[in-house]
Amino acid sequence: MDTELYSVSIKGGETKLLSPTTGSSNVAFSKTFKYYILYHNDANSPNRVSLHSNDGKEIRVLEGKRCIKGKDGFNVAFSG
């Protein structure tokens, strides 16, 4: 089952997806809701834990793998 994290303004409007679309996502927010830790996994990847600002920007991978897309289009993984 997929679980996602969304944000929406209190004033209403469109929702913004803050987590990957596939797999299971759980979050823990800071006391001020300025930051959150995203715990994510899916059937094809190990657990990944990352720190994000409340606008969804990833600040740092705390555990798991960081992936970047190489010039040839392939993903390159680094241990976190």
What DSSP letter does each residue of the chain carry, written as one string? -----EE--TT----EE-S-SSSEEEEEE-TTSSEEEEEEEETTEEEEEEEEETTS-EEEEEESEEEEE-TTS-EEEEE-
Global pTM reads: 0.70
Q: Please state, rounded to an integer, the average pLDDT across all residues of the chain.
A: 79
What confidence tens digit (pLDDT) does each residue in 16-51 have?
Answer: 888 877 888 888 999 999 999 999 988 888 788 899
The pLDDT value given to residue 7:
86
**Could you tell me which of 18, 34, 43 has the C-alpha nearest to residue 26?**
18
pLDDT at 64 over 60: yes
**Could you tell me which of 74, 3, 79 has the C-alpha nearest to residue 46?**
79
